[in-house]
Structure 1
């Protein structure tokens, strides 16, 4: 058998990164059966920040990190469910893992299948690879810069066309009155989808089902894996206030992220509309 030729311009993946990419994939896949078994059955509670949590969140977070630590004991591990609420964790290792064990917990607890497992690998504070298990389609979407995005076995890319009135973008509610006013022209012009999962918003954008997604209330763990997918799929991430990455620390009360991600053309439209509305206030 002849050796496969490397594609022109594609850099070889360092072995320490390749090992982590493979290990992350296996760790997520190993939790799918448990995730599906608890779907719509597990009891949930409301936390002080008005978000829902279940036993499955804690279990999946612990199992994924336990598995990864066996191979990479010196990496940093960040989870909303396992890190102490009153502790700021400094990221000192070259590689860090950030997990959202159940993104779309409201949907998961209610038995609505728009939810999934989200795991991100960071290098020097930047997301470089993401895994999102889309439970609604029973598909693992994964990818990173230089690697592209795999939607199961199919390659995914962001939409590159100029926006039209038929373009779709996703968001999550509720909105503040100010943000609702700023986004109103976009709601009136384009098609809007609300799945209740920031990870799936980003996933469907990365694989070309949506032109973009916009969020104002999500946290680091909601978007880390999805941001890696967006970049890998040729999309853009535009912050509507302070940039999120790179990060050098982690704590569970980090401020929300405000961004638009996806098609460069649609990102430009959202940013211009948002900034124009803000100036007129």
Structure 2
């Protein structure tokens, strides 16, 4: 049987160790290549961080499996048992071009239920954490339950391309106080949990983009779903909404009526 407090503490140590490695690697040259298209970047640092977690799991938790962005996800077709869902660097374009606004994102799921979540903003040294049933924290300070802020007082996060793609979002552009796009899904979900944003909306995200953030946001009363309002499977690419309950309800209404 899993000792979740022990797993939480161990994975936290590994997240921070990965952050130290990333900061050290940034002092030297980084090898960058593209995957599906020229904007889908991967670096040797992404791959090394994922390999770091693979090796750690083999040694410490050999029955656990890893679903990672840089190759290991191909081996995962279900969430039976305990699965670590990892994005070694979420926001690789930011990492390469700006050296900020990227994060290590980790969600640990048991029989499909999110038990542990981490989002580590490496350059700000800001660590968002959650253990199911114990609340969510940022650098050890407990986060409050998300407030049902009205749309007119809300800051929402969405890629400009999605607004052009789905004209139903124009209502929110006109009515919300402001829009942002940070280029890291993990951080944007963390910001919803921390009350810095009221919602984050995306057309297409992979499980590793959102798994850690979903655990954190649920611990403070936020809602995560796909565009149809259904629960996510964390097995396939899907549309995604993270929001406080009031904005989530409004999004569902405007997107489907």
TM-score, normalised to structure 1's length? Answer: 0.83
Which residue does 2:175 correspond to in 1?
189
1:83 aligns with 2:79: no
1:175 counterpart SS class: helix
Q: Would you say the 8 A contact 1:62–1:82 is kept in 2?
A: no
Higher share in helix: 2
Matches within 5 A, 1:84-163: 87-91=74-78, 93-163=80-150
Q: Which residue of 1 aligns with 2:17?
A: 30
CA distance in 2, matches of 1:130, 1:209: 18
1:226 is the counterpart of 2:213: yes
- RMSD of aligned alpha carbons: 2.2
Matches within 5 A, 1:193-272: 193-241=180-228, 243=230, 245-246=232-233, 250=235, 254-255=236-237, 257-272=238-253
Say if 2:62 is the partner of 1:69. no
- Aligned match of 1:47: 35
**1:171-182 equivalent positions in 2, closer than 5 A:** 171-175=158-162, 177-179=164-166, 181-182=167-168
Structure 2: how far apart are the matches of 1:235 and 1:157? 11
Q: Distance in 1 between matches of 2:182 and 2:123?
A: 11
Shift, 1:15, TM fit: 5.6
Deviations 1:151-175 (CA, angstroms, capped at 9, x unpaired): 0021113532331423111123422
Greater Cα shift, 62-71 or 188-197: 62-71
What secondary structure sits across from 1:48 in the alignment? Answer: coil
Instruction: Report the number of matched residues.
Output: 254
CA distance in 1, matches of 2:6, 2:58: 13
Asked if 2 retains the 8 angstrom alpha-carbon contact of 1:126 and 1:246, the reply is no
**Structure 1 stretch displaced more, 121-130 or 88-97:** 88-97
Q: Whole-Å Cα distance in 1 between the matches of residues 145 and 160 of structure 2?
A: 23
Alignment partner of 1:21 is 2:2: no
- 1:116-175 Cα offsets, whole Å, 9 max, x none, are 101110011222211110134211111032111110021113532331423111123422
Query: 2:255 aligns to what?
Result: 274
Higher mean C-alpha deviation, range 258-267 or range 90-99:
90-99
Provide the TM-score with structure 2 as the length reference: 0.90
Q: Any stretches of 5+ residues in structure 1 without a counterpart?
A: 1-13, 277-281
For the pair shown, the structure with the greater C-alpha radius of gyration is: 1
Shift in Å, 1:101: 0.1
Tell me, in whole angstroms, the C-alpha distance in 2 between the residues paired with 1:66 and 1:158. Answer: 36
Whether the aligned pair in 2 keeps the contact of 1:141 and 1:151 (CA below 8 Å) is yes
- SS of the residue aligned with 2:3? helix
Q: Deviations over 1:251-281 (max 9, x none)?
A: xxx33x21221210011111211222xxxxx
Q: Hey, what's the Cα distance between the residues in 1 that align with 2:250 and 2:108? A: 30
Q: Give, in whole Å, the separation in 1 of the partners of 2:162 and 2:252.
A: 17
- Contact 2:203-2:239 within 8 A present in 1 as well: yes
Q: 2 CA distance for matches of 1:217 and 1:70?
A: 34
